[in-house]
Amino acid sequence: MFPFFSYKTFFFLLLSFPVFPARTFPDPLTELTVDVRNSTWHDFGKFLDAGKGSEVTGMSELKKYFQRFGYLRPTPEMNFTDFFDENFESAVTIYQKNLGLPVTGKLDSDTMTQIVSPRCGVSDTTHSLHVTRHYAYFYGEPRWVGSSPMTLTYAFSPEDMINYVALPELKTVFQRSFSRWSSVIPVNFTEAKNYSSADIKIGFYRGDHGDGEPFDGVLGVLAHAFSPENGRFHFDAAETWAVDFKTQRSKVAVDLESVATHEIGHVLGLAHSSVKEAVMYPSLSPRTKKVDLKIDDVQGVQALYGSNPNFKYSSLLESDISSSWGLPLERRSSKWGTSLVIGVLILSLCL
């Protein structure tokens, strides 16, 4: 689906004070993706530390990645060159700032590690820079409107489901995912019997399924959800969805609960966060579980809907606050050697 290395690519924002405005994104659709391995990845090392004025064979393909996610404007017939020019330097700099990376304007180790990491497929089309990096909203900050406490209904497609996960087990996964969000905001989620009348419609689809955002097969795009009050919530049926990694041994298995929890955030109106520990951060590795809301997730959704009157910050969230204070950006920087090893390990999962 992505115009980067045969269009098969990457998987599926530091803690700040809630008084700062969240970033907004104009795209109403979000997609969670996972990395797809191919031999081209092994050539990524040649881009390491490339900067303005350099010319490296294959950089034109790398520029397609930046164009896909909104950092470079489309060129006639996608005629990118291998030259690291001023426009590409600007794109790299904005990319680094948006993803909380050290800002060097070069393809340093942290930037290359992020590029080869699994990530969401939504285009980062807002280029304005912000001092703070945290939760974000879609353009216009859409939200579900109703009296508080609000009740939203959800239902599963009668035809478009997966058959290797028992329906009761699958429903339990979604109940847990919805309950995580309802525990922090005055919004309840109830399963509806009538699919057509439900606020949130959940289904598993393959390829072109009529919403203008076709899935691309195993890995690549995992799922997508639309902003309020659309309610469409789609998973790629070609993936190997897991509810228990002990029983699902596939190396490319994707945790259903993690993706469901992430996408519910989008259904509620949250865009992606720059806080790497947050549920709403756009990356998720195969065989990884990431379901617990962090303070950034909570602050973002409560800014839209208010707080559940029974909500209290747990020790986990309090720990999340304290551990984020005074953490220098440099301490979060990884070395290319270490990152490369991690990257190879991730890649080996899917080979």
Q: Give the domain CATH number at 262.
A: 3.40.390.10
Q: What is the mean pLDDT of the chain?
A: 78
Q: Is residue 168 part of a domain?
A: yes
Q: What's the DSSP call for residue 105?
A: S
Reported as a pLDDT band with limits 50, 70 and 90, residue 252 is confident
Same domain for 51 and 156? no
Reported as a pLDDT band with limits 50, 70 and 90, residue 77 is low
Catalytic annotation present for 263 = yes
Same domain for 168 and 312? yes
User: What is d(CA 34, CA 306) in angstroms, rounded to the nearest whole number?
Assistant: 32
Nearest C-alpha neighbor of 91 from the set 110, 101, 106 = 106
120 is in an annotated binding site: yes
Same domain for 68 and 193? no
209 is in an annotated binding site: yes
Q: Give the domain CATH number at 110.
A: 1.10.101.10
Q: Is residue 20 part of a domain?
A: no
Q: Is residue 344 part of a domain?
A: no
How many separate domains does the chain show?
Answer: 2
User: What is d(CA 9, CA 116) in angstroms, rounded to the nearest whole number?
Assistant: 8
234 is in an annotated binding site: yes
Beta strands at 220-226 and 241-242: parallel, antiparallel or unpaired? unpaired
Reported as a pLDDT band with limits 50, 70 and 90, residue 185 is very high
236 is in an annotated binding site: yes
What are 96-123's pLDDT values in tens digits?
887 778 999 999 998 988 787 666 666 6
Same domain for 251 and 188? yes
Query: Whole-angstrom distance between the N-terminal and C-terminal Cα of the chain?
Result: 20
127 is in an annotated binding site: no
Domain encompassing residue 108: 37-116
Name the least confident of 16-20, 124-128, 144-148, 242-246: 16-20
What are 282-325's pLDDT values in tens digits?
778 889 999 999 999 999 999 999 999 999 886 555 656 554 54
Q: What is the percent of the chain where pLDDT is above 90?
A: 49
Distances in Å between the Cα of 145 and the Cα atoms of 150, 258, 298 are 8, 26, 19
pLDDT at 38: 35
Q: Catalytic residue, from 31, 257, 263, 318: name it.
A: 263
Q: Which of 96, 116, 136 is the C-terminal boundary of a domain?
A: 116
Beta strands at 232-236 and 220-226: parallel, antiparallel or unpaired? antiparallel
User: Residues 219, 209: contact at Cβ < 8 Å?
Assistant: no
For residue 61, give the amino acid letter: E
Reported as a pLDDT band with limits 50, 70 and 90, residue 132 is very low
255 is in an annotated binding site: no
Same domain for 105 and 155? no
User: What is d(CA 282, CA 277) in angstroms, rounded to the nearest whole number?
Assistant: 10
Residue-by-residue DSSP string for 268-321: HTB---S-TTSTTSS---TT----PPPHHHHHHHHHHH---TT----HHHHHHH
Same domain for 164 and 105? no
